[in-house]
Amino acid sequence: MAQILVVDDEIGIRELLSEILTDEGHDVRVAENAAAARQARDEARPDLVLLDIWMPDIDGITLLKEWAAGGQLTMPVIMMSGHGTIDTAVEATKVGALDFLEKPIGMQKLLASVSHGLERGQRRLPVGLSLAAFTRSAPLKDLKRRIDQVAAKSRALLLRSGPGGIVELAARTLQVPGKAWLDLAGSSEPLSLESLEAAGSGVLYCEELARLTRLQQKNLLFALERLEKFNLRLVAGTAHDAAGLAAHGWDDASLRRLSEVWLAMPSLAELKDEIPEIAGHVLTGLVESGESPLRRFSTGALNSLRQHVWPGGYGELKSAIRSLALAALDEEIDSDEIRRVLFPDAPGAPAIVLPCLSSDALDLPLREARELFERAYFEHHLRADGGNMTRLAEKSGLERTHLYRKLKDLGLRGGKGEE
């Protein structure tokens, strides 16, 4: 017996479909509009949804997009409409709908479509969270519009982001539900034409160009020349300028090609007020994909996340939320739980007083006081990251060559290099 949700604003259609499907042995729940459908979907976790396109509050295509963007399209959805067109059916399929039924719906066609949907209805892993999920945040909505606008004219996009950015969140905006997401940094094998063909209509992704090995760089350039052929998109991010990327093995011609179209990305520090909504969506995605038991954040917990500094950006925030979801003992995660799991030393930790803030330091000439601060700053981060120079470069925002020179000038020794 399957759980089926029927969403239609016409009571007669709801009752008819419910009666037919109930007679077939299914457990049926109905909803008259998008608001009721959201609630029913969250409560019942249906195995399949029959979704009308034309509804009084928002249309079914918009609701489908909302579910897809928020990581909630984990069940097959069959669209229904009495005024459908081929374009509408194609759009629904692109968003993630399994099938499209025209009203009036014949019983045999209904049952065949439902049977097919349930056969393919093993719970699908949702795509990663994208900017499309944020319908209330003006900065994220504007960023999505810019990305969509650029993507309409270019298959390759470079995202320039400092430390603490949201490169993956932005890149996921261009992923079509059900299509491939290929992280170029995740493979050490040569990329082939067959693998590009298999990823057709998907997204090739690289979070940081400077982290790619020489082979991975060649894979990216190999794919870059074949985006049109295989209907692919390439989205790459970097916090480095041309000189910094050249130091990591990128040649001028490749950098010019990659930099033809680029956008600047905000950091989480610039999106502080959006962090609670981002965190809520990330947690929902973990629950929907089965990676975590049912969890929710309290208002205080969301405020704690908003106030925290996330130098590692979206990746660090995702990791923290996954840790919280798996370690929390109660369904609701409160601010105390966040302190216990993420910042156990915070309540009793002594305040860090940098030498440059002492009264003696304030009497020094500016140059000497600045040097004192810089030495304390780099000593602190070298200790915190175990001497990892890659993380120190990302946190300080300095290119590697400038960083080594600065440490040498301050009389400090570098740490673990490329570890």
Task: For domain 355-409, give its CATH number from 1.10.287, 3.90.120, 1.10.10, 1.10.1060.
Answer: 1.10.10
Name the band, by pLDDT with cuts 50, 70 and 90, for residue 416: very low
CATH placement of domain 272-341: 1.10.8.60
> How much is the pLDDT for 407?
84
The DSSP code for 126 is P
For the ranges 27-36, 195-204, 246-255, 405-414, the lowest mean pLDDT is seen at: 405-414
- pLDDT greater at residue 364 or residue 149: 149
DSSP for 16-72, please give it: HHHHHHHHTT-EEEEESSHHHHHHHHHHH--SEEEEES--SSS-HHHHHHHHHHTT-
In the CATH hierarchy, which top-level class contains the domain 131-264?
alpha beta
Contacts of 297 by beta carbon, 8 Å cutoff, 6+ apart: 276, 279, 280, 283, 305, 332, 333
CA 62, 68, 73, 79 dihedral sign is positive
Residue 8 to residue 37: CA distance in whole angstroms: 9
138 burial type by CB count under 10 A (0-12 exposed, 13-18 middle, 19+ buried): exposed
Region(s) of the chain under CATH 3.40.50.2300: 3-119
Q: Where in the chain is the domain with CATH 1.10.8.60?
A: 272-341
- pLDDT single digits (tens) 146-186: 999 999 999 999 999 887 889 999 999 999 877 899 999 98
Residue intervals of the chain classified under CATH 1.10.10 are 355-409
Which ranges in the chain are annotated with CATH 3.40.50.300?
A: 131-264
Q: Tens digit of pLDDT for each residue in 26-71?
A: 999 999 999 999 999 988 889 999 999 988 888 899 999 888 877 7
Please choose, from the candidates 284, 15, 281, 288, the residue with its C-alpha nearest in 3D space to the C-alpha of residue 131. Answer: 281
Nearest to 47 by CA among 105, 104, 98, 107: 98
Strands 48-52, 99-102: pairing kind: unpaired
What's the mean pLDDT when you consider all of the chain?
Answer: 86
Q: What's the mean pLDDT in 248-253?
A: 93
Give the whole-angstrom CA distance, residue 30 versus residue 7: 6
Using an 8 Å Cβ cutoff, are 191 and 170 in contact?
no
Q: 235-253 burial, b for 16+ CB within 10 Å, e for fewer?
A: bbbbbbeeebbeebebeee
Into which CATH architecture does domain 3-119 fall? Answer: 3-Layer(aba) Sandwich (3.40)
Q: How far is CA 260 from CA 25, 179, 398, in A?
A: 57, 25, 24
CB 418 within 8 A of CB 210: no
Indicate if the pLDDT at residue 279 is higher than 70.
yes
Q: Average pLDDT, stretch 380-394?
A: 76
Q: Please name every residue paired with 235 in a beta bridge, in sequence order, or none if there are none.
A: 157, 205
- Confidence label for 349 from pLDDT (cuts 50, 70 and 90): very low
Question: Which of the 8 DSSP states describes residue 273?
Answer: G
C-alpha triplet 303, 309, 313: angle, nearest 5°: 105
Rounded Cα–Cα distance for residues 286 and 280 (Å): 10
H or E segment and range at residue 189: none
